Amino acid sequence: MPNQAEPKHQKAEARCSIARTVQVLGDRWSILIVREIFRGRTRFSDFRSVLGIPSDVLTARLAVLQGSGILERRSYREPGARERFDYHLTPAGNDLLPVLGSLTQWGDAHRPTGFGPNRVYRRASTGERVHVAFVTADGDVVADEEIEIAPGPGEPDPRVQAVHPLAAVGHHGDNPESPRTE
Candidate CATH numbers 2.60.40.10, 3.50.50.60, 1.10.10.10, 3.30.1020.10; the one for domain 1-95 = 1.10.10.10
Residue 103 Cα to chain centre, angstroms? 7
What residues contact residue 62 under an 8 Å CB cut-off, 6+ apart? 33, 44, 47, 71, 73, 87
| CB atoms near residue 162 (< 10 Å) | 8
Chain segment 119-170, per-residue pLDDT in tens: 999 999 999 999 999 999 999 999 999 999 999 999 999 999 999 999 876 5
User: Can you tell me the distance from the alpha carbon of 36 to that of 39, in angstroms, rounded to the nearest whole number?
Assistant: 5
Q: What does R_g of the chain's alpha carbons equal in angstroms?
A: 20
* Domain residue spans of the chain: 1-95
Mean pLDDT computed over 55-84: 96
Alpha helices in 52-113 (DSSP H): 55-67, 91-94, 97-110
β-bridge partners, 126: none
β-bridge partners, 142: 134
Higher pLDDT, 133 or 178: 133
